[in-house]
Amino acid sequence: MKEKLLQEFQKVFGRAAEGVYFAPGRVNLIGEHTDYNGGHVFPCALTIGTYAAAAKNDDKTLRFYSMNFEKLGVIETSLENMVKVAEHNWANYPKGVLQVLMDAGYPVTSGMDILYFGNIPNSSGLSSSASIEVLTAYVARELFGFEVDFVEIAKLGQKAENEFIGVNCGIMDQFAIAMGKTEHAIFLDTADLSYEYAPIRLEDAKIVIACSNKKRGLGDSKYNERRSECEAALAKLQTVKSIASLGELTEAEFEEIKSVIADPIKEKRAKHAVYENQRTIQAVKALKENDIALFGQLMIQSHDSLRDDYEVTGKELDTLVASALKQEGVIGSRMTGAGFGGCTVSIVKNECVDAFIREVGKEYLETIGYAADFYVVEAGSGPCTL
């Protein structure tokens, strides 16, 4: 891969790259739509992700090129004119990161030529955008030689997405990618960013991701709407209980005061945030105790809540999960990511993986009319220089 990127960089920019870099994608095993509600999440970095070859240049010009979007050619802008431009498409993500780096006082002192290549399916819910964000910050750190730790890189990536791109996302995606550790998932409390690594010991099972191939864009989805619904519910609950986030409530505490929300839709949204947070805490405990069956049951409950209370699944994801749960050797299955398309994650016994992919793929194609893609994945590490 490194040689391929170096050759392509030479071809596109007519000179040699200074280095080749990588940042992973991520999958969230459980804890969905809790990260902006002060709850817990349990993601892991993947071994697939985004690569970049890069070199500084002598002026203030930024030149971006993606091997995944060759038809868009080289997208060019200036460090002195960093605004979101619709025609710049995917390149708005690295632009946003470089802008927040400069705003925070990090010395991005010249322009750069950067070539990207990703093997994460685009718009899949495996965080191709957060992968680009973390990677770009890492590339800038390496090329310009300034000090910035991986937690700060995650925060800057989130800030770029919130303020430059306009998606009100939580911290999970960028944190999981920046802080990834091989064969571990990250149990993260998004309220205070305290975290611990938990080994993923699945013994005789594998993590299988099914990509629905229904494209979605977070910015124009109902993602921001869900967040505002939760904020409105929280504001009502705060009139009767001193809490900073929905993540502070147990199920029993929520049930006791939920009537104050006085809006059935907002109550359902808040219920999901509270119950999903508690499920995530239970799931990590189950994994530590090697109770994979309970972990799988909690995954299924998570999907049901995302479908019924949060209403972010849709026909494609529901079809994938329903089909998965019919198959032999499936321990658990749920949608992962923001929803409205994207992916599911399933835990499948080793000897059943091939049949699972074949049968779920067949049913999905018959029901939806186009094919899903499947990936058997492992937990990988964070950004690195190749």
Domains and CATH numbers, the chain: 2-198 (3.30.230.10)
Rounded to whole angstroms, the Cα distance separating 118 from 124 reads 12
Q: In what order do the strands lie in the sheet with 343-349?
A: 330-336, 343-349, 205-211, 373-377
Q: Are 348 and 208 in contact (CB under 8 A)?
A: yes
Q: Are 377 and 47 in contact (CB under 8 A)?
A: yes
- pLDDT of 208 > 50? The answer is yes
- pLDDT of 218 > 60? The answer is no
DSSP designation for 191: T
Residues 349-363: what's their mean pLDDT?
A: 98
Residue 32 sits at the vertex; the CA angle it makes with 310 and 210, to the nearest 5 degrees, is 100
Question: Helices 128-144 and 150-159: crossing angle, nearest 10°?
Answer: 120
When pLDDT is cut at 50, 70 and 90, the band that residue 219 belongs to is very low
What's this model's pTM, rounded to 2 decimal places?
0.91
Rounded to whole angstroms, the Cα distance separating 385 from 372 reads 32
pLDDT at 202: 87
Write the pLDDT tens digit of every residue in 230-239: 999 999 999 9
Amino acid found at 111: G
Write the pLDDT tens digit of every residue in 32-69: 999 999 999 999 999 999 999 999 999 999 999 999 99
Mean model confidence pLDDT for the chain: 94
% of the chain residues with pLDDT over 70? 97
Among residues 113, 173, 189, 309, which one is catalytic? 173
Higher pLDDT among residues 72 and 202, named by residue:
72
pLDDT at 127: 78
Q: Which helix (H) or strand (E) holds 198?
A: strand 194-199
- pLDDT of 250 > 80? The answer is yes
**CA contacts within 13 A on the Cβ side of 51:** 20
- pLDDT of 115 > 60? The answer is yes
Residues 295-324: what's their mean pLDDT?
A: 97
- pLDDT of 220 > 60? The answer is no
Place of tokens 């998606």: 167
State how beta strands 61-66 and 112-118 pair: parallel
Q: Residue 318: how many CB atoms within 10 A of its CB? A: 17
When pLDDT is cut at 50, 70 and 90, the band that residue 216 belongs to is low
Residues 237-255: what's their mean pLDDT?
A: 98
Residue 277 sits at the vertex; the CA angle it makes with 241 and 376, to the nearest 5 degrees, is 165
**Angstrom distances, CA of residue 295 to CA of 207, 289, 300:** 13, 10, 9
For the question of residue 173 being annotated catalytic, the response is: yes
Write the pLDDT tens digit of every residue in 123-164: 666 778 999 999 999 999 999 999 999 999 999 999 999 999
